[in-house]
Structure formats: C-alpha cells, structure tokens
Amino acid sequence: MSQEVIDQIAAYLTSNIPIVPISQGAEAVVFTTNVHPYEPINAKTSPNDQSTKTKYVIKYRPHKKYRHPSIDRALTKHRTLGESKILAKLSQLPGLHVPKLIATDVYNGCIWIEFLGEDLPDSFGFSNLKNYLWMHASDPYCDDVKKTLIKVGHQIGLLHWNDYCHGDLTTSNVVLHQDNGHWEPYLIDFGLGSTSTLVEDKGVDLYVLERAIISTHSRFAAKYNEWIMQGFRSVYEDEGKKGQQKMKDILKRFEEVRLRGRKRSMLG
Ligand SMILES: Nc1ncnc2c1ncn2[C@@H]1O[C@H](COP(=O)(O)OP(=O)(O)OP(=O)(O)O)[C@@H](O)[C@H]1O
C-alpha cells in the first residue's frame, strides 16, 4: 500500500485516530480503527490498541493525480456521497444486513462504517463468503453451508425486491458476521450500488455472483448456486402474485445474461 496514501489520510485524521490498513482496491483504501468519530477517546484504551472489540472501518478514496483536480474532487464527492446515501437507505430496510454508516466526509472522500466479520479459524482468513466456502471444502454440503447460502440468497432477494442493485456482487463482498452463534451474511461495498427497477441490473448481479462462485469453488458451485437461488426466490414467493411475476422476469433475464456471457467466452 502506498505510503503516500497512508500519510495523506493520517494527516487528515490526525494522530488521535490510529489506523491499520486492511485493503487497497482500485478506487479506495480501507483501514480499521478503534476510535469512533463522535465519541471521546477512552483514556483507559490506548488509541493504538486495535485488539478491542469495537472496531470501525474507514474507507478512503485518495486523490488521483492523473485526474484533473476539479474532476477528481467532483468524482470523489459524487462516489463517496453515492455510497453513503445508499448505505444509509439500505440500513432502513427491515431484514437487510449492511454495515451501519457512522460518518461521512464527502469532500475528503472518507466514510466511517461499522466493522463486520472476524478471522476464520485455521488461517482461512477474513470471514467473507469466499474464505468461508474454502473453510468448508472438506464437508462442502454440510448444513451450515446450506443454511448460510440460503441466507445469502435471501439478502440479495431483499435488496432486489426493494429495487436496489449491488453492482459488484462478488464472494468477497459478502461478509459473514456471527450473530448469536450463527453466521449472518452482510452485503458490503456499495461503491457501484444503485436504485434500479431494471431486470437487467438484477440479472447481472445474480450472474456476477454465480460466476464468482463457479470460478473459486467450481466443484461445488452447482449446489451452492442452487441454494443461493432458493433463498433469493423465497423473498419473491412471499410477496404473492406480484412477487412471482417479478421473479419470473428476473430469472428470464438472468438466463439471457448467462447466454450472453457464454457467447462472449466462446468468442474469446
Ligand atoms: N464493514 C466492513 N467490515 C469489515 N471489513 C470490511 C468492511 N468494509 C470493507 N471491508 C474490507 O475491506 C475490503 C475492501 O472494501 P471495499 O470492497 O468496500 O473497497 P473497494 O476499494 O471497493 O474494494 P475493491 O476495489 O477490492 O472492490 C473488503 O473486501 C473487506 O475485506
């Protein structure tokens, strides 16, 4: 991770807010901190002690030197605001699991959100869906995996039923968080999220996740995707005739997106 970016955000946050880098994506750098932006720092807890239970995520969109400064500022503001708004709206939807938005500074490209998940045992890494499925590779069809994947599908169903789309639905963007001893899937990274009534956007979301599972867990992917779709369908089936019709339309488009994907990969 570039030291320049770390210095940029460290200067902005000041030394009162210690940060630990955890990821650098194409657009944003993600850090954890144990400091809440609006609560006084607990004198008993060293600000450098990241082992405390309460952790927060700071997602920072650094300046891009190759962009014209005014375009860079406008894009940073637009994307930070877009992600913050969608997170705030999604956390109002009953049953939908997304990290809570704590604070946002759109001009400085900074979002403060709830930290979710944990390290999996036996060095399987962070508890996103991808690593969780690897962890279960020796017993891939166990009850725990089935229940979790049905819940993942249910979360996507809720998102789509409420006319939101994720835009980058990979297995790394589904984080498993323990609630009362059970894994609950949370959807993260709404940087490309949007409101949408279009079956195309929903079909593409489903296709992206299906491909992600096929590419990393190919041997078990058929069953895994079937369970995800079971959870997805259950949301629409609970909504009576209207739900059934909407689901039919989405599934039809999903199949078309798949066909387009197949054609593209055959043509290279
Ligand atoms: N709320 C959260 N709780 C725990 N970890 C998180 C949280 N948000 C993000 N992360 C971690 O940081 C990583 C990157 O976050 P995110 O996907 O939001 O950023 P990004 O820059 O859009 O990433 P990419 O470009 O790789 O898609 C996630 O894959 C996850 O491991």
Residues 56, 104: contact at Cβ < 8 Å? no
Q: 19 CA distance to ligand 1 centroid (A)?
A: 15
Same domain, 95 and 222: no
- Spatial separation of the C-alpha atoms in residues 87 and 160, rounded to whole Å: 15
- Domain limits for position 23: 3-114
Instruction: Of 107, 110, 131, give the one whose Cα is nearest residue 119.
Output: 131
- Spatial separation of the C-alpha atoms in residues 153 and 212, rounded to whole Å: 14
- Spatial separation of the C-alpha atoms in residues 44 and 52, rounded to whole Å: 11
Q: Does the beta carbon of 30 lie inside 6 Å of ligand 1?
A: yes
Q: Does the beta carbon of 115 lie inside 6 Å of ligand 1?
A: yes
Q: 173 CA distance to ligand 1 centroid (A)?
A: 7
Same domain, 16 and 85: yes
Question: What does the buried/exposed string (b/e) look like for 53-63 if buried means 16 or more CB atoms within 10 Å of the residue's CB?
Answer: eebbbbbbbbe
- Spatial separation of the C-alpha atoms in residues 47 and 52, rounded to whole Å: 10
* pLDDT (tens digit per residue) in 56-110: 999 999 988 899 999 999 999 999 999 999 999 999 999 999 999 999 999 999 9
Atom nearest to 115 CA in ligand 1 = 3
Average pLDDT, the chain: 93
Which of 114, 131, 152 is the last residue in one of the domains? 114
Same domain, 100 and 217: no
Q: Which residue has the tokens 């403060």?
A: 112
Same domain, 105 and 190: no
Same domain, 144 and 70: no
Among the listed residues 49, 122, 168, 189, the single catalytic one is 168
Same domain, 141 and 249: yes
168 is catalytic: yes
pTM greater than 0.90 (yes/no): yes
Same domain, 106 and 12: yes
Same domain, 77 and 15: yes
